[in-house]
Structure 1
């Protein structure tokens, strides 16, 4: 399959997942009409998404996977969700980073998108427990050589999670002695009651260490994360300085969040995307 065909398949599968999430299920015949592809193509897409754990196939279609608080989707499954929102969030969040900063990025698909934007910010020191994030910077350095202003990357050790984050005592020990200007956190769920949460107990502890070591904590998470609660909470909303999210966040949620956070950035709604003035103090 060509690169172009791969891209089309990824886009189509992202649309399928969005339909499943929005309507609570989809039928094959509805998807063939909506996406103008064959029945066989849709069934292959559903097979691929089911293998990734992104949905559950049923007779004639698909439904969401039962979302227990301990269920942690793999990196590939999460990568196919909310692609446009993650790209907008990444552009806006990158605008908050000054050259020469010490920046920490946790694991996650949104921080992975942000890492690609940070390649253009000079003289960064990047600390991450994400194998995927580290690979973004390492691949750029291999491709262009050690260019002036290239980031210095510190990858913590640890035990690898389904999201390709390194967690556990080794990671915690590495983070404990470090101090960051800003931490960008990807999250499994965010709510007023549970704060920031994850289904992985070891990841929760590693994230707590990251939060303690940061002068400023920025959550990068799309609107679908609101109201989701994982097994373990690792920070309250009071510990978060900024939430960068997308325009899908409902107005009533924005009002609720305004009572808890210092700043909410809605990517693309105010000023130019990626500029520091994309959010308003609240």
Structure 2
């Protein structure tokens, strides 16, 4: 019975963390009326199970790599707003990289609707992103070769990374799985991490696209420090988040959709 109660308590703690992106032992203890020593023991177990990530100043839910159709329907209004606002940043003649993911897809869809742009070149490793521009002659789309993942219609192989080395991007618009001031920009898989590192190495300005739930989360693999990010386009619900304020103090510009 004690084991069942312990599992129930740990499940309750995990659900609390998931609902708040970034929190503290004290917050968990006070909200769930559990002693801080018990919370620490339960957090250790949850971290061993790779459900959470703890670090100085807080604890966050671990980020997973869910299928694209599942991510696309989460917070759709926020993602659409982010996409429309980010699309306004693009000017004629730009050479852009657009990453994969649901927020990037919303951005690509909004950008493809702009008929005032000419001579914009989009490089992407995601087939569904490239398909957004098929009916707009103002865009040239380049998709580097590689192994296609049916999971999310993207390519992350070494062949893809080698192909990206031929470009110097004006800006890269990238999706986010986790962003904190301490761990920076993070992603859930090593394949995605290596690809995004290669993109950032060839990019003048890095623009992250995300809804408010991603700020404060931590993925398994580090991409770059928060200070390397130039701009984050997100929805207004993140405006009062403490973690956002910390990231902004690292020199990151936030644009609210």
What TM-score does the superposition give when structure 2 sets the normalisation length?
Answer: 0.72
Give the distance between the partners of 1:223 and 1:261, measured in 2 at CA.
19
CA RMSD of superposed structures (Å) = 1.9
SS of structure 2 residue aligned to 1:158: coil
SS of structure 1 residue aligned to 2:207: strand
Residues 106 and 256 of structure 1: CA distance in aligned 2, closer, same or farther (over 3 Å): same
Matches within 5 A, 1:1-282: 69=62, 71-119=64-112, 120=114, 121-138=117-134, 140=135, 147=137, 150-161=138-149, 162-251=151-240, 252-267=242-257
SS of structure 1 residue aligned to 2:197: helix
Residue 274 of structure 1 corresponds to none
The 8 Å contact of residues 65 and 189 in structure 2, kept in 1 or not, is answered as yes
The 8 Å contact of residues 124 and 143 in structure 2, kept in 1 or not, is answered as yes
**C-alpha deviation, 1:70, in angstroms:** 6.8
**C-alpha deviation, 1:254, in angstroms:** 3.3
Give the distance between the partners of 2:212 and 2:161, measured in 1 at CA.
29
**C-alpha deviation, 1:103, in angstroms:** 0.8
Residues 256 and 70 of structure 1: CA distance in aligned 2, closer, same or farther (over 3 Å): closer
**C-alpha deviation, 1:250, in angstroms:** 4.4
SS of structure 2 residue aligned to 1:181: strand
Give the distance between the partners of 2:86 and 2:64, measured in 1 at CA.
28
**What runs of 5+ residues in structure 1 fail to find an aligned partner?**
1-20, 24-65, 142-146, 268-282
Give the distance between the partners of 1:152 and 1:114, measured in 2 at CA.
16
**C-alpha deviation, 1:22, in angstroms:** 5.2
Runs of 4+ in 1 over 6 A off after TM superposition: none
The 8 Å contact of residues 84 and 111 in structure 2, kept in 1 or not, is answered as no
SS of structure 2 residue aligned to 1:177: coil
Give the distance between the partners of 1:89 and 1:215, measured in 2 at CA.
21
The 8 Å contact of residues 242 and 261 in structure 1, kept in 2 or not, is answered as no
Give the distance between the partners of 2:187 and 2:126, measured in 1 at CA.
15
**C-alpha deviation, 1:222, in angstroms:** 0.9
SS of structure 1 residue aligned to 2:81: helix
The 8 Å contact of residues 218 and 240 in structure 1, kept in 2 or not, is answered as yes
What TM-score does the superposition give when structure 1 sets the normalisation length?
Answer: 0.66
**C-alpha deviation, 1:259, in angstroms:** 0.8
The 8 Å contact of residues 70 and 200 in structure 1, kept in 2 or not, is answered as no
Residues 235 and 153 of structure 1: CA distance in aligned 2, closer, same or farther (over 3 Å): same
SS of structure 1 residue aligned to 2:132: helix
CA deviations on 1:41-95 (whole Å, 9 max, x unpaired) are xxxxxxxxxxxxxxxxxxxxxxxxx677473100000001011111111111111
Residue 12 of structure 2 corresponds to none
